[in-house]
Structure 1
Amino acid sequence: MSQYQTPYEALGETGIRELTGVFYDLMDELPEVAGIRAMHAADLGPMKEKLAEYLIGWMGGPPLYANKYGSVCMTTPHQPYAIGAAERDQWLLCMNRALEQVAADDELKAMLREPLFQVADMVRNRD
């Protein structure tokens, strides 16, 4: 039996904001994700906020992103970037390592594994 119904119950808003901060810190630090880092502005602050707001709602919390920006379509904002399997995998590497660093338990990581892959794969626009 699960300890919690949603990832939001496990992490809360503070935990998701921490996860997002670690995610972008890793994007800045890991040479193997330079491809996706190059797709972002020098200042990652605005993206940290946007991704945190998106993930809070996506993980079962309040719909902060949708309330602020309307549509929660992830493909449109990613269209200008060439995103293939390599970029998807770089994103997932950062997210998986961020989950490790915020000490997410095995149940939460298992709960998120497939949905995170689906989100990352959904924004692919090339092979």
Structure 2
Amino acid sequence: MVQKLIEQIGGEEVLRALVERFYDIVEETEAGAQIVKLHKRGHGMDHARIEQFNFLSGFMGGRRYYEEKHGHMDVKLMHAHVPITEEDAENWLRCMDQALAELKLEGPHVERLRQVFRRVALMLVNDLAEWGETRATA
């Protein structure tokens, strides 16, 4: 039987530690400054920590807390109103890479996770200038 990714990284306890360390890094580093700003325009950092755990649990094959609460797991829909640049996506990935490294999460399953995170982060890049407003083109 193939282990779910959440089990491969050590279960919900390790996932919670990853999310907490990720958001600590986001709040402590220059790379995270814009991410903090975006979250503060939304529901705030505490909310982000909770919902990130809820989403990633289901995303990694564990209990689908986010779907139980919100009725879906559509990451594009979750971020549709948020202006996200390629730089924002790269900074998110930088912070997550640092959190994974600090928690010493490694191996083929973590490399696969990094690839999926990259694909999803870049998929969320959009042309919104402000919340719901399209950027003007020259």
TM-score bracket, shorter-length normalisation? 0.7 to 0.9
Instruction: Map 1:38-49 onto structure 2 (within 5 A).
Output: 38-41=37-40, 43-49=44-50
In structure 1, the gaps of 5 or more residues are none
Q: Which residue of 1 aligns with 2:121?
A: 120
Q: Distance in 2 between matches of 1:32 and 1:59?
A: 25
Residue of structure 1 equivalent to 2:99: 98
Distance 1:98 1:6 in 2: 20
Q: Distance in 2 between matches of 1:115 and 1:77?
A: 17
Shift of 1:36: 1.7
Q: Output the CA distance in 2 between the equivalents of 1:14 and 1:109.
A: 16
TM-score (norm 1): 0.87
Consecutive unaligned residues of structure 2, counting only runs of 5 or more, are 129-138
Match of 2:62 in 1: 61
Structure 2 counterpart SS, 1:104: coil
Say which one has the larger Rg: 2
CA contact (8 A) 1:7 1:111 kept: no
Identity of aligned residues (%): 28
Distance in 1, Cα, partners of 2:31 & 2:122: 19
**Taking structure 2 as the reference length, what is the TM-score of the superposition?**
0.81
Matched residue, 2:89: 88
Equivalent position of 1:9 in the other structure: 7
Q: Considering Cα pairs closer than 8 Å and 6+ residues apart, tell me whether 1 or 2 has the greater RCO.
A: 1
- Provide the C-alpha distance between the structure 2 equivalents of 1:22 and 1:8, rounded to a whole number of angstroms: 17
- Structure 2 counterpart of 1:76, which letter? L
Give the drift of 1:5: 3.2
Q: CA deviation at 1:108?
A: 3.1
- How far has the Cα of 1:32 moved from its partner? 2.5
* Further displaced range: 81-90 or 104-113: 104-113
**Deviation sequence 1:64-122 (CA, Å, 0-9, x none):** 11111111111223222221211110110111111111110233321212111112122
- Classify the secondary structure of the residue corresponding to 1:86: helix
Distance 1:113 1:46 in 2: 23
Q: Residue 125 of structure 1: CA displacement? A: 1.0
RMSD: 1.9
Q: How many positions carry a matched residue from both structures?
A: 124
- Provide the residue aligned with 1:33 in structure 2: 32
